[in-house]
Amino acid sequence: MRVCPNWFDAFDLRGAAGSTGWAWSATTRAILTLCVALAAAPAVLHAQQKFPAKPIRIVASTTAGSQPDGLARFIAQKMSETWGVPVVVDNRPGGGGTLAASPVAKAAPDGHTLLYALPNFVISAAMQPSQPFDPIKDFATVAQIGVSTNILVATPTLGVKSVKEFVALAHAQPGKLILSTSAAGSASHLSGLKFNLTAGIKAVQVAYKGGPDSMLEVLGGRAHYHTGTLGVTLPFIKEGKLIALAVITPQRTPVLPDTPTLGETYAEFKRPETSHGLLVPAGTPRPLVNQIAKEVLRIVNLPEMKERMQTIGFGAAPAGPDEYHTILRGQHEAMAKLVRDAGLRAK
């Protein structure tokens, strides 16, 4: 017995009572609907099974050998092992992340080109009103990976041991303390700026080329406090050359379990300002997005990946496409507000 009749057999030539021409019977319509679905199913299944059909490229706005680059390459390695195709990391630092995001926004929405979004993805959108892409409309969120652990440290010469003591000292000496951070527009710079604004601190803020340079200013006694990454400051904290006042993350870090979060003092810091995640061009079919997200979340939850992140003071915060979309929109709005409040705009 044939399930799907020939096309000519599917027509009811009798016509409706009192009418002329061809008419469709209810049974015929139901059969045709089923036949169309059955005919389309193999093509849809083939399209889904075909991914990935070629090497996958993860574009990252960071230099080779950096901590984010190491995480991106680990993810790429595990993806390659699962899918059996090369997965390469394409490093394109510079331009506040624009050099990396632009080619991804213009890439084919087929799941084979991804953006490893760093904090500069959100920061640049707030600092630079005109970009060659729309950070919301031109990308689809795949998965959040985690949060860099930034930290607020001070020189031991100040004699303070907590955020409360430091803020009291800063209020007693308005304009006297010097904050050193990474370059203007960096996560370090904006974290320090937000801390000063939230705590009502009037201080001299000096931005340097990078985190190590700005930290050395505190170690050398030329600055009094610093906001930077935990991975860079940790050795000096353990040696007592820097005082860890607070980590700028939602939860305390296992690396320094006795150091409070800045959110424990100021509610404005309870949510991460920025995070790391993966994006694809807008228009990428949702089944592909879900497939990639499932693999990324699997990798993030691997014991080896967790150990890697903890070693560099990176907090795992896995989130799927919808949750990451909500998180990223919130980060864009919060960062835009901070930049407006501070009167910052890229020249």
Q: DSSP per residue over 293-330, as a string?
A: HHHHHHHHTSHHHHHHHHHTTEEEEEE-HHHHHHHHHH
Residues in CB range of 78: below 8 A, 6 or more apart: 295, 298, 299, 302, 305
244 touches 229 (CB < 8 A): no
Element housing 154 (H / E): strand 150-154
**How far, in Å, are 97, 106, 129, 182, 317 from residue 132 at the CA level?**
12, 10, 10, 25, 29
pLDDT per position as a tens digit, 332-343: 999 999 888 888
Rounded to two decimals, the pTM is 0.77
Q: What is the pLDDT of residue 10?
A: 41
> What number of other Cβ atoms are within 10 A of residue 106's Cβ?
12
- With CA atoms as reference, report the closest residue to 91 among 111, 110, 109, 73: 73
- With CA atoms as reference, report the closest residue to 197 among 162, 167, 217: 167
In the sheet with 314-319, reading across from the earlier edge strand, the strands are 87-91, 56-60, 113-117, 276-281, 139-148, 314-319
Helix (H, G, I), strand (E, B) or coil at 128: coil
Helix (H, G, I), strand (E, B) or coil at 87: strand
Q: Would strands 56-60 and 225-229 be described as parallel, antiparallel, or unpaired?
A: unpaired
Phi, psi dihedrals of residue 276, rounded to the nearest 5°: -110, 140
* Tokens read off for 183: 């370059």
The segments of the chain whose pLDDT lies below 50 read 1-3, 5-24, 34, 36-37, 40-48, 346-347
Q: What is the pLDDT of residue 3?
A: 45
Letter for the amino acid at 324? Answer: Y
331 touches 117 (CB < 8 A): no
